[in-house]
Every structure is written in C-alpha cells, then in structure tokens.
Amino acid sequence: MNCYFLESSAFARLFVREQGTGQLIRLMETVEDNRKLISAAAPLEVYAAIRRSQRAGGISAGDAARALDILRMESARMVQQPLNPAVLETARQLLDRTALRWPDALQLAAALVAREMFGGIEMVFVSASPHLLDAAGSEGLRILDPAKEADEAIAAV
C-alpha cells in the first residue's frame, strides 16, 4: 500500500491548473484520504501562491476564491504532518547535507518523518520540483512528478 506525500508545488496543482493537474486529480481520486499526506505548512504556502497569482493578474478574484475554497476542503481531508521538533531537526540535517532551500527542506523533512511514523508503508513523494525530487530520491523515497508520471502512478494504484 502506498501513501502519497504532496509537496506544495504538487499540492498547488490541485487548485490552479498547470501541467500535470488533470493527471494528479485523477490519481488523488483513486487514493483513500488517509493515504494522502501534506506538510501542515503546505496549505499556507499554496494559499500564499494563489493570492500572489491573483495580485499579479494571473487569475481572477473569482477563480482565486474558488481555488481557496477547494484548498480549505482538500486540506481538511488530507493527513497533515505537523511541524514538530522531529520535522524541524530532520530539516536542519537536510540543510547540512543538501543544497535545498529551507522551505524545501521542511517539506522533505515532513515526508521523511511521516514515513517513519507510517513504518512499513511505501511513501511516494510527489513534487514538480526536479531538485526536490532528486533529494527525495536520495533519501530513499519513491518519487513522482505529476507533470510526467501521474498516469503511470494511477495504473499502479
């Protein structure tokens, strides 16, 4: 049984149409809610991105409002990994051994701590960031880029 940890760049694709959105939505429709994980910081990060896009004219106020409503509902349905001391320490260790930026280290650390908590279940790290996918793969997580591989992941569920 797989659990899917959606890093913010992938999680955002559920609310704002980008390359891979359709595939990711189809994947998430096939996975039980208790097998979908995000960092507790992900909803705030995605909220900020939606507001930035609205202010820059990338999306209308109405589209932003709809995206934020869906964000609230989906965030409540997913398992959220808290930003507890174990996550913060793991992020610090990642910063010592990788070139990740601190927000990316925090996302990956949340996934790694969640994997430990769910012992014995394969964790698939979902991200649209190539350097974050590389780091997650180096940490022994299965990786999935929603823009490239979500259709294959659906077949494997």
pLDDT digits (tens, 9 = 90+) for 116-156: 998 878 999 999 999 999 999 999 999 999 888 644 544 44
Contact present, 2 and 125 (Cβ < 8 Å):
no
Give the 3-state secondary structure of residue 58: coil
Contact present, 1 and 124 (Cβ < 8 Å):
no
Q: What is the largest CA-CA distance in the chain?
A: 45
Are β-strands 36-39 and 79-81 bridged in parallel, bridged antiparallel, or unpaired?
parallel
Looking at the chain, the number of H-run helices and the number of E-run strands are 8, 5
Beta bridge partners of 122: 2
Structure tokens at 140: 């022994």
Output Rg (C-alpha) for the chain, integer angstroms: 15
How do the domains of the chain map onto residue ranges? Answer: 2-156
Q: For the domain 2-156, what is the CATH code?
A: 3.40.50.1010
What is residue 9's DSSP assignment?
H
What is residue 6's DSSP assignment?
E
Q: Tell me the per-residue pLDDT of 14-51, one tens digit each, with 9 for 90 and over.
A: 988 888 888 899 989 999 999 999 999 999 999 999 99
| Model pTM score | 0.90
Locate tokens 């208790």: which residue? 34
When pLDDT is averaged across residues 58-80 and rounded to a whole number, the result is: 94
